[in-house]
Structure 1
Amino acid sequence: MTAVSPQSRSNLSLAQRAHNIRHHALRMGEVQGQGYVGQALGVADVLAVSYFHALNTRPHDPEWEGRDRFLLSIGHYAIALYAALIEAGVLPEAEIETYGMDDSRLPMSGMASYTPGMEITGGSLGHGLGIGVGMALGLRRKGGGQFVYNLMSDGELGEGSTWEAAMGAAHHKLSNLICIVDFNDQQADGPSTETLSAEPVADKWRAFGWHSQRVDGNDLDALVAAFDAARAHDGPEPRVIVADTRMCRGVPFLEAREMTHFVRVEPEEWGRALAVLEEGAPR
C-alpha cells in the first residue's frame, strides 16, 4: 500500500478509515510476527468513528489543551491505537516499520511517555475508567467543554475498580465522560461471558446511573448514531456505549479461529491476511 499524506486522505469515508486502520495494524503485526491483531481488527470501526467523527482534536498538535481526551485503558490494544493515530496523521506511517523495536515510539504495550497522542499508560486492567473520572472532573472545573472518552475491554468488567469508578462518575454527574466497552467476548482464558459474565451489561451500567447504549461495534452507521446520542444526551449522567465487536474482523480465515485473544499468525499468513483485507476494501 502506497503511503498517502493525511491531507490527501481528508475526504475518505469512515469505511475507508476503518479499512486503513486494519491495514496499518496488520503491517505492524507482520513487522514483529506477532501482536494483538485480533483486537485491532475488531475495534477498527470504533476507532474510525472516534477519530474521524466524534473527537475534537488537532492531529499536528496532540497536546492542544482544547482537545477531547481518548484514553486507552487496555494497554495491549496499543497496536490498534497506533494504527488510528497513524491514520489520523498524529504519527508518520513510516514508523510502522519500528513497531515493538528498541527505542521505538510504538512499544508493544502502550506507554504515554513514548507515544504522541497516547494519553495514559494502560495495561493493568480496570485503571482507565478511574483515570477518566478524575480527568473529566478536572476538565469540567476548567470549563472548556471537552469530552473524555475511555476505551475499555469486556474483561475489565470483571475488575472491581471499574465499578467503583462507574459509581463515582454517576455520583459526580460527569456528563462529559463517555466510556466505550469493546465487547468481543474473548479473554486469554476463553469467552468473557464464560470466565466471569457481566450480563446484562447495558442494564448493569444503567443501574449504576449511566446513560447506556449497546450496538453492533462493526456497524459504522450504528456507531455514529450511538456516539452522536452520547454527546447530545441532555441529562447529567455519564455515558457508555457497549460495542459488540468481532475479533479479526475483515480477515475471515483469522475470524474463524477458535482462540483469537492472541491470534497465532504464521509467517506466510501475514501476506495472505493483507491480501484478503484488500479484497474486501471499500471503494
Structure 2
Amino acid sequence: MTDIKSLEKLTTQVRRDIVRMVHAVNSGHPGGSLGCAEFFVALYGEVLKYNPKKFTIDGKGEDLFFLSNGHISPVWYSVLARSGYFDVAELKTFRKLNSRLQGHPTTHEGLPGIRVASGSLGQGLSVALGAALAKKLNNDDRLVYSLHGDGELQEGQIWEAAMYAAANKVDNIISTVDYNGRQIDGDVEDVLDLGDLDNKWTAFGWDVLHSDGNDMTDVLKTLAKAKEHTGKGKPIMIIMRTEMGHGVDYMMGSHSWHGVAPNDDQLEKALAQNEETLGDY
C-alpha cells in the first residue's frame, strides 16, 4: 500500500530543495518546479520501475521518463538525488560552472537519470515517442512517460508528434501536460489561448485523463488509471491542473515566479512554509 504521508514529506523536502537551489545562484525556475513537486515524487516514489544504481541510457527493462519543459530542472534534480541517482549534496552545485546540474538538463556530463538534453520546447514528445517505439521493437514491455508545459503546447512540433503517435498506435506512452495556465509572458489564455485541450487531444486520437496535480492521492490514482489504459491502441495524455509556485503562498496566483529566484527574506518565508522533513543538503 502506498504510504501517502511519506510521499508528502518527501514533497515538502523537495520544495525546500527547489527554493534553496535557485536562491543560491539567484537564477532558475521555481514556479513550475514547485507546482510539479507532487507529480515527480509520485512518479519516482511509486510509479516508475527503475534502477538508480545501474543507470543506462537505453534503460532496457525500465520505465523511462522525459522532461520536455526542461527549465523546471530543479524539481527533477531534487527528486533524482533523493531517489538515489546521485548524492543529495550535489544539489548545491546547481547552475554553477562545470556542474552536472545545469539550468536545463544535459547529457554530456553523464548525470544519472538524464537521457536527453531538454529545454528547447516542443521536442520532448517526439523524443519520448521514439523511445516508446524502440521499446516495442525490443519487445520491452516497460512504459515511457513524459511531461510538458501548457505554454509548450503552442509549439507546432507537439501536434505533429501527437498525430504521429495516434496514427501509429503508440500505446506504451503516458504523457502529462502541466496545466497551470501560466507561462513566462503571462497567462496562457492571454499569450496564445489553447482552447479546449480535452477535445483537442481527443480529436488527435489520444486517450485523455484529468488530474489534480497538487493532490498526491489524485496524482497517484490518475497515473495508475493511465497505466490501465496502455496497450489498447491509443497514446495517453493526462491534463494535470497545478498551481505555479504551489506551497509558497507569495509565488502562487501569478506568472511572476516563472523564472525568478527569491531573495534572502523571501527564501526564509518559503522555507517557513515547508518543513524540513528529510534533512537539507
Where 1:195 maps in the other structure, the secondary structure is helix
Structure 2: gaps (5+ residues): none
Aligned-residue sequence identity (percent) comes to 33
Q: CA RMSD in A?
A: 1.9
Matched, 1:140 2:133: no
Q: Deviations over 1:221-247 (max 9, x none)?
A: 111111111111152101011111111
Identify the residue that residue 31 of structure 1 maps to in structure 2.
24
Matched, 1:70 2:65: yes
Distance 1:275 1:150, change over 3 A: same
Distance 1:92 1:117 in 2: 12
Question: Which residue among 233, 236, 261 is the counterpart of 1:236?
Answer: 233
Paired residue type of 1:95 = E
Runs of 4+ aligned structure 1 residues displaced above 3 Å come to none
More deviation, 202-211/250-259: 250-259
Identify the residue that residue 6 of structure 1 maps to in structure 2.
none
Structure 1: gaps (5+ residues): 1-9
Where 1:151 maps in the other structure, the secondary structure is strand
Q: How much does 1:212 deviate?
A: 0.4
Where 2:174 maps in the other structure, the secondary structure is strand
Matched, 1:267 2:264: yes
Equivalent pair of 2:175/2:236 in contact (CA under 8 Å): yes
Identify the residue that residue 117 of structure 1 maps to in structure 2.
113
Distance 2:11 2:43 in 1: 11
Distance 1:90 1:11, change over 3 A: farther
Paired residue type of 2:258 = H
Equivalent pair of 2:19/2:261 in contact (CA under 8 Å): no
Paired residue type of 2:218 = A
Distance 1:256 1:126, change over 3 A: closer
Identify the residue that residue 162 of structure 1 maps to in structure 2.
158
Distance 2:54 2:4 in 1: 20
Where 1:13 maps in the other structure, the secondary structure is helix
Identify the residue that residue 182 of structure 1 maps to in structure 2.
178
Equivalent runs, 1:1-283 vs 2, <5 Å? 13-63=6-56, 64-114=59-109, 115-233=111-229, 235-257=232-254, 259-278=256-275
TM-score, normalising length from structure 1?
0.91
Distance 2:251 2:77 in 1: 21
Identify the residue that residue 3 of structure 1 maps to in structure 2.
none
Where 1:57 maps in the other structure, the secondary structure is coil
Q: How much does 1:185 deviate?
A: 1.1
Equivalent pair of 2:182/2:255 in contact (CA under 8 Å): no
TM-score, normalising length from structure 2?
0.91
Equivalent pair of 1:68/1:146 in contact (CA under 8 Å): yes
Paired residue type of 2:216 = L
Distance 2:78 2:143 in 1: 22
Where 1:268 maps in the other structure, the secondary structure is helix
Tell me how many residue pairs correspond in the alignment: 272
Distance 1:47 1:213 in 2: 18
Equivalent pair of 2:68/2:124 in contact (CA under 8 Å): yes
Distance 1:256 1:186 in 2: 9
Distance 1:29 1:187 in 2: 18
Equivalent pair of 1:20/1:87 in contact (CA under 8 Å): no
Distance 1:188 1:254 in 2: 14
Paired residue type of 2:245 = C
